[in-house]
Amino acid sequence: MTNKSGKVYLIGAGPGDPGLLTLKAKSCIEQADVVVYDYLAPPAFLAYASKDAQRIYVGKKGGDHTLSQHEINQLLVEKAGQGLHVARLKGGDPFVFGRGAEEAQELLAAGVAYEVIPGVTSAISAPAYAGIPVTHRDHTSFVSFITGHEDPTRKNSRMQWDVFARSDATLVFLMGVKNLENIVTQLMKHGKPADTPVALVRWGTTPQQQTVTGTLETIVENIRQARLKSPAVIVVGSVVSLRKELAWFDRTPLFGKNIVITRARAQASGLAADLTRLGANCIEIPTIRIEPPADNTPVIDAIHRIKEYDWLVFTSVNGVQFFFDTLFGLGKDVRILGHLKFACIGPVTKQRLADYGIVSDILPETFRAESVVQAFSTADIQGKAVLLPRAKKARTILPEELTQLGARVDEVTAYETVLEQEAGPTLNELLENKQIDAVTFTSSSTVTNFMSLLPSGKAADLMKHVTIASIGPITSDTVRTFGLTPTMEADPYTIEGLVDQLLTHYIQRGIS
């Protein structure tokens, strides 16, 4: 944003599921100069911010405060005073136990413009994802949201325990896990029946969601045995009994499965979204980074000589993207390609080419020799010049087969895959603690780089109980070179095929 006067947007970031962020909130994040976020605001939302936006973490967790509330208030005033637009992300809704009103008062006192963007509160969404409606015609028409922070035994408490105990309303306590025993004691002391149903929902709406149920009499022990900790929402009332019938989120086929995505970070979102919708907890461990080649002179030269070629062949979406990025960077457009015929390896590459308004003439399904030969068998390829822009290190089978068919092939490096090493320590810790259920490999380079992150000689042991999902036969062959066996292979060899195989695998094993 470029307005000279600053402004603060107090944004409810929702309960945890990124899909529950409002469109208005997303727009504010995208346009912000500064993003200030706390412990409960999903980190995924930072991806919506511009690359130039300043990101400031002010998380508060169980008494461990990065900044005090006063310091947060001053930060917002300071940044807005510099003429910046600030997106202040707060978990849930900023005006439901989010101290958003206090921040608004500070901004008002300082003469800073602000706007409140309501969010989906965990008070209703966490129970809903656990199959617990906070109201129901057959149970109650009332609901009370109550802070769980206050010690119920303190003098001069504002907590009306006698009212809560007599009421038929659903009682929803936020931030009350540490005080659970006191809450239960006070409710029963003031007359709430001991057999009143209770549920705690931890990390509601996320793949880490954990729900523990019981009654006022049993819930403390149930929580102790389950080792459930904050953050969690406490729900008290007869509506909790509906969970047995209405639970849906934790019945999704991949719920609770920790699945590693090894694709480049920029390409991981589609696979992550598909798996998340099925309940999986996606752990992004990008093993590769896609970059322009260190020297793109060969691509530029080929584009300048494009009239010399008869065919343009793409083997991946990356090849398509980087080729056209270079083309457009030279001030040219697709009109100079009008004389060419096109071939793409795989349907996803074909679709990416179609995004530029070009229909592929030929579609070999895989890199396998028989697939290439079959696809080009009816094409006029003898003596034709073929331009093949692709990765710096790529398999030789395609140019070899095209050459045997009589074509003259020019390979040019359109992009490079670079090893990502940052996630190595995290990956090894997760594997050591057996916190990974499956790993997805979408190319041979993801396999090679993934294996390079594991300690020498320990790979087989670390991966012993991990499901290995491969996108196709070439990738599977690479997995085998490291002494591992793919658990499954996508068919067709696409992201959708990979997701379907994972789904089928876990359904057949009866693992929810």
Annotated catalytic residues are: 38, 60, 175
SS (H, E, C) 388-438: EEEECCCCCHHHHHHHHCCCEEEEEEEEEEEECCCCHHHHHHHHHCCCCCE
- Counting Cβ atoms within 10 Å, is residue 265 exposed (0-12), middle (13-18) or buried (19+)? middle
Residue with tokens 């958003």: 100
- Asked if residues 493 and 368 have their Cβ atoms less than 8 Å apart, the reply is no
| CA 7 – CA 195 distance, rounded (Å) | 50
Residues 6+ away with beta carbon under 8 Å from 205: 14, 15, 16, 17, 20, 122, 125, 126, 129, 249
| CA 318 – CA 306 distance, rounded (Å) | 20
Residue with tokens 């594991």: 454
| CA 304 – CA 327 distance, rounded (Å) | 9
302-306, long-range: CB within 8 Å, 24+ apart, which pairs? 302/387, 302/389, 302/410, 302/412, 303/327, 303/330, 303/332, 303/336, 304/330, 306/336, 306/337, 306/340, 306/387
Q: In terms of Cα–Cα distance, which of 75, 78, 69 is closest to 6?
A: 78
Q: In terms of Cα–Cα distance, which of 381, 377, 379 is closest to 369?
A: 377
Q: Put residue 9 in one of left, alpha, beta given phi > 0 → left and psi -120 to 50 → alpha.
A: beta
26-30, long-range: CB within 8 Å, 24+ apart, which pairs? 28/87, 28/117, 29/87, 29/89
- Asked if residues 230 and 178 have their Cβ atoms less than 8 Å apart, the reply is yes
